[in-house]
Amino acid sequence: MNRPYIICHMVTSVDGKVTGDFLSAPECAPACEIYYDINRSLQADGFICGRVTMESSFTGGYTPDLSQFKPVQHDGDRKMDYMLDEEDMSGFYAVAFDPKGKLGWKSNRIIDPDGDPGYDNAQIIEVLTEQVDKRYLGYLESMGIPYLFAGETEIDVPLALFKLKNIVGCSTLLLEGGSIVNGYFQRADAIDELSLVVAPLLADKNDKPLFSDSIPAAFELVNAETKNGNLVLTYKKK
């Protein structure tokens, strides 16, 4: 397989939603704890999240002032990937699917306030499209944040995964939401395993499902157990 093995690891409501207030309800706290435990135990090479999730979980909506940065010029129109020297790359990555380059990072590693080893100190990698402002590339380079190009306006999931395997060296990555990025992966047939913690709650009608705009697919249930009032499920792609 010329891409990393992808495990989509998520907390869901009983009605299969993954966004919204149910996630912060006290009744969902045990599911979140189980989710973080599994996240650590899977020992992947890193995790992937969409721009919205990275913003809500890690950057807090900070935006850099791009007027401070010089545009990065590449030969011709096509932009080049940017990697750090091997010794400066950690073995654990936080991969942000950020097509327009909106995320404002204050460090080139994730700083998790709780020091959770499932996230803390992960090396940030930005996956971008050709739409990005070239000054954003200057900002990323000044921060020591590697970036990969995959696509013109939408992120080409197979190309991004090809690069994550062959340039970065990732063998297994966790896909950790939200609904929109999960949907892009599902439609690209790039999900090998589902790891779900189903919390005993119903979500709001406006909350989003596990995959936005999914297409039909079959999975095989390989494990099901209950933990502290939650259902913990593992499915593999058939």
Ligand X SMILES: NC(=O)c1ccc[n+]([C@@H]2O[C@H](COP(=O)([O-])OP(=O)(O)OC[C@H]3O[C@@H](n4cnc5c(N)ncnc54)[C@H](OP(=O)(O)O)[C@@H]3O)[C@@H](O)[C@H]2O)c1
Span from 39-47, 73-81, 98-106, 163-171 in contact with ligand X (CB under 6 A): 98-106
The residues in 109-148 that bind ligand X, with binding defined as CB under 6 A, are none
- Binding pattern for the stretch 144-163 against ligand X, x by CB under 6 A and - elsewhere: ----------xx-x------
Q: Which is nearer to ligand X, 51 or 168 (CB)?
A: 51
Least gap, CB of 197 to ligand X (angstroms): 8
Taking CB under 6 A as the criterion, the residue among 3, 34, 51, 148 binding ligand X is 51
* Of 74, 102, 187, 237, the one binding ligand X by CB under 6 A: 102
Annotate each residue in 194-233 with x if it binds ligand X (CB under 6 A) or - if it does not, as one string. Answer: --------------x-------------------------
Q: Which of 6, 7, 8, 23 forms a contact with ligand X (CB under 6 A)?
A: 23
DSSP of 167-224: II--SEEEE---HHHHHHHHHTT---EEEEEE-S----TTSPBSSTT-----EEEEEE
Name 65's Cβ contacts closer than 8 Å, sequence gap at least 6.
none
CA separation (Å) from 157 to 22, 63, 128? 29, 25, 11
CB 125 within 8 A of CB 93: yes
Q: How many binding residues for ligand X (CB under 6 A)? A: 26
Q: Is residue 148 classed as helix, strand or coil in its secondary structure?
A: strand
Residue 29 CB, shortest distance to ligand X, in Å, is: 13
For ligand X, the nearest residue by Cβ is: 178
* Residue 31 binds ligand X (CB under 6 A): no
Q: How far is the CB of 141 from ligand X (least distance, A)?
A: 20
Residue 106 burial by Cβ neighbours in a 10 Å radius (0-12, 13-18, 19+): exposed
Contact 8, 188 (CB under 8 A): no
Q: Which amino acid is at 95?
A: V
Length reported for the chain = 238
Asked if 50 touches ligand X (CB under 6 A), the answer is: yes
Among 93, 97, 105, 119, binds ligand X (CB under 6 A): 97
- Identity of the residue, 70 or 217, whose beta carbon is nearer to ligand X in the bound complex: 217
Q: Where are the alpha helices (DSSP H) in the chain?
A: 29-41, 51-54, 134-143, 157-163, 179-187
Q: Which residues bind ligand X (CB under 6 A)?
A: 10-11, 18-19, 23, 49-53, 56, 97, 99-100, 102, 154-155, 157, 176-181, 184, 208
